[in-house]
Amino acid sequence: MNRLEVHLKALKKQGVKGVIPYITAGDPCLDTTMKLLNIFKECGVPAVELGVPFSDPLADGVVNQRAAERALKSGTTLRGILERLENDKPEVPVILFTYYNPVFKIGLDQFAVIAKKAGISGILTLDLPVEEADEYVRIMKKNMIDVIFLIAPTSTQERIKRIVGLGSGFVYCVSRTGVTGVRSDVPGTVVPMVEKIRVETDMPIAVGFGISGPQQAKKVAQSADFVVVGSAIVRLIEQGGSSLDICQRVEDFTKELVRAVK
């Protein structure tokens, strides 16, 4: 097992629930992104999903789309993100949340080497189906990077088995069909989906997409090991102001989420 999976499995064994925040790298700038990574560590999160801004984020709702636009306008690139991570060395485990094109443009082998040097713990490539991922997985695992796949409410038991057999780190269960975004409810499909996944693996299970506040996070944590919260945090960043203002809003909200799931 790679270090991310070891870390999350240890928490699961202890019965410790956790929040995995998502932010877009470079929104509004990489300096603020690095400050937020340190704040997340201080809040006690087990890992952070760091989005790579992309021009065609098909799985993202409008909040995260706007974040990607802001990050691209600030000049953020995948190479720039990795270079900054290598230099700053944040202590919190970082999971890259990306589309395949930026990785493909660098080249799988070269990307994996650079990502390893940058301390990347895991990678989730949204638009790469498990059926086409054998070489990608081999190269990432060779470089000690865990590979996370999404499992949707429409996934069959056979496909769930294939995904957990190829992936590592944790299993990302999507709470609903559609794109990312803030929602007001937790779908009734979450509990049965988590149960279907647990039949196939002892890997930790994280549930995300549409979780917008502490009460929803608490409800999801009753069945899942970890709760992913993205758009609700990105929306706080979008409110703008100084880097200090942004960091304070995100810190306060993250602490609420962490308290809610414990």
Question: Which residues are tagged catalytic?
Answer: 49, 60
Nearest CA among 61, 35, 64 for reference residue 51: 64
Contact 163, 149 (CB under 8 A): yes
Is 122:146 a contact under the CB 8 Å cutoff?
yes
Q: What are φ and ψ of residue 25, in 5° steps?
A: -60, 135
**CA-to-CA distance for 125 and 160, rounded, in angstroms?**
17
How many angstroms separate the CA atoms of 86 and 81, rounded? 9
Q: Which of 231, 207, 256, 237 is nearest to 62 (CA)?
A: 231
Of 211, 222, 213, nearest in space to 181 by CA:
211
- Scanning the chain, the segments in alpha helix (DSSP H) are 3-14, 30-43, 62-73, 78-88, 100-106, 108-117, 134-142, 157-166, 190-198, 214-221, 231-238, 243-261
**Continuous segment of H or E residues that includes residue 150:** strand 150-151
